[in-house]
Structure 1
Amino acid sequence: MKYLRYFIIVFIASILALQAFFFLQIVAWQWFNPSVTAFQLAERHRLCGWSIPYIHPCGIKREWIEFEKIPKHLKRAITISEDSDFYRHPGFEPQAMKDAWDRNQKNNKHLRGGSTITQQLAKNLFLSGEKSYVRKGQEFIITGMLELVLSKDRIFEIYLNSVEWGEGVFGVASASQHYFAVKPHQLSIEEAASLASALPAPKCYDKVKYCSKARVNFPARIDFILERMNK
């Protein structure tokens, strides 16, 4: 019984220490930009193995751009595509998650997660790609931390600079260059809508070989985004 109590205390202390580690990093991001995310590290390892970063870049593309330099029509296109109520909700949209759960149960597979931009960022910053209730619970906690500490614009800025946009392509600056050979502020409205349409399945948008598991009609999504942008 004594050892069980000791194990429980150590387990709880470890969990609290992990949450403190996450929280302190988020606090620091009020002034500093994240250097890398957990998802980027995982993708780099998948593509490059254990090669040394910066010495062997392995085709990984990352470039930070300030929030003010990202055009408004691109930000609008992305919120329409991924989270139209981003600036109005507290980080979660229970109805969207319920709808996603119902769809997934009906189809007996994971099709869409119904995650907000903040939830997506929480997962990409700190967590693995595995799907489990424990990971989802941790995602909720980190989402709450992000919303508590950072402004909506800062959350969106970090998201736009870290989200995957293709194989080894991270952030809107790299995506603009990769697909259209321009800076973000040079993107047309149609190009912005095209980039936004990629986010549900960025690898498929980038390379056909990744489309076997994706069910995204990119032209239809572009038309939908453009229609909403014109309202």
Structure 2
Amino acid sequence: MRWLKWLLALPLAAVVVFNAYVYGSILTYRAVAPHSTAFMQMRMGQLAAEKPDVDLDYRWVPYEQISVNLKKALIASEDANFAEHGGFDWAGIRLAMKKNQRAGQVRAGGSTISQQLAKNLFLNESRSYVRKAEEAAITAMLEATTDKDRIFALYLNVIEWGYGIYGAEAASQHYFKRSAAQLSPQQAAQLAARVPRPLFYADNPNNRSWRGKANVILRRMGSATLPEGD
């Protein structure tokens, strides 16, 4: 029966090895920009078959070279309590769980910026409670080892904004032909509105819901609270 014990131990060993890799990577990312992310690799693999002409456009820029307007727009749209919470918005999570129970499947996640970053860096876009548990573990590691400015800098630089477009600088250049440092409040709100469904909005540039959301974000930006370093 020894083989059975080893077989049962393999999943646990895989989890331990993966989390050790994640922890080491997070420590590295406190000072070094990621070469790529798990989400980028997954998405570009999909596009290689579906849209082979799409190239990866990922341009890292320092946190200080990203417009405060964009930072406020993303706080306003994605995680209003980012500066205060420890990685989890418990009220948002409870609301998401209620929605999932009503739907009978995992649809809403109540994800904070830290949780979205955990998913982008190391996981995929599957929706399950197992993946959410791993996301929670990675989020806890991020928050325990990395200051809020760096978490936000990583997030701003790696999130998807269109086909092959990752990070604030690539998005700013693609949509507005200007650097991320030069974004106006209106432009920042428009970029933030794309984040939940970047490929859909890339295919539907005149979508009314996107424009309406951008206007809501613009109104909320004035009350957005940034991390203390800003």
Q: What's the TM-score, normalizing by structure 2?
A: 0.88
Q: Does residue 230 of structure 1 match 2:206?
A: no
Q: Do the aligned residues in 1 keep the contact of 2:69 with 2:183 (CA within 8 Å)?
A: no
Q: Do the aligned residues in 1 keep the contact of 2:73 with 2:188 (CA within 8 Å)?
A: yes
Aligned-pair CA distance for 1:98: 1.5
Aligned pairs for 1:188-203 within 5 A: 188-203=184-199
- Match for 1:173 among 155, 169, 173? 169
Distance in 1, Cα, partners of 2:60 & 2:53: 16
Q: Do the aligned residues in 1 keep the contact of 2:87 with 2:115 (CA within 8 Å)?
A: yes
Question: 1:137-182: per-residue Cα shift (whole Å, max 9, x none)?
Answer: 1111111111111111101101100000111111000000111111
- Match for 1:106 among 77, 94, 102? 102
Give unmatched runs, 5+ long, in structure 1. Answer: 50-55
Q: Which residue of 2 aligns with 1:24?
A: 24
Q: Which residue of 1 aligns with 2:227?
A: none
Q: Do the aligned residues in 1 keep the contact of 2:70 with 2:189 (CA within 8 Å)?
A: yes
Gap change, CA 1:200 and 1:10, over 3 Å in 2? closer
Distance in 2, Cα, partners of 1:13 & 1:139: 18
Aligned-pair CA distance for 1:229: 2.0
Three-state SS of the structure 2 residue aligned to 1:195 is helix
Three-state SS of the structure 2 residue aligned to 1:230 is helix
Gap change, CA 1:118 and 1:176, over 3 Å in 2? same
Quote the sequence identity (%): 38
Aligned-pair CA distance for 1:110: 4.8
Distance in 2, Cα, partners of 1:66 & 1:222: 25
Gap change, CA 1:58 and 1:198, over 3 Å in 2? closer
Aligned pairs for 1:108-123 within 5 A: 108=104, 110-123=106-119
Question: 1:105-143: per-residue Cα shift (whole Å, max 9, x none)?
Answer: 334555432100011111111112211221111111111
Deviates more, 1:134-143 or 1:2-11: 2-11
- Match for 2:135 among 131, 139, 146? 139
Q: Which residue of 2 aligns with 1:208?
A: 204
Aligned pairs for 1:47-196 within 5 A: 47-49=47-49, 58-108=54-104, 110-196=106-192
Aligned-pair CA distance for 1:185: 1.6
Distance in 2, Cα, partners of 1:186 & 1:36: 25
Which protein has greater RCO, CA pairs closer than 8 Å, 6+ apart? Answer: 2
Number of aligned positions between the proteins = 220
Gap change, CA 1:20 and 1:106, over 3 Å in 2? same
Question: 1:211-231: per-residue Cα shift (whole Å, max 9, x none)?
Answer: 8xxxx8212211211111235
Q: Does residue 217 of structure 1 match 2:191?
A: no
Q: Which residue of 1 aligns with 2:43?
A: 43
AA aligned to 2:217 is I
Question: 1:180-222: per-residue Cα shift (whole Å, max 9, x none)?
Answer: 111112211111111111111111221129x8xxxx8212211
Deviates more, 1:84-93 or 1:1-10: 1-10
Q: CA RMSD in A?
A: 2.0
Distance in 2, Cα, partners of 1:27 & 1:218: 36
Q: Do the aligned residues in 1 keep the contact of 2:189 with 2:217 (CA within 8 Å)?
A: yes
Distance in 1, Cα, partners of 2:107 & 2:132: 16
AA aligned to 1:47 is L
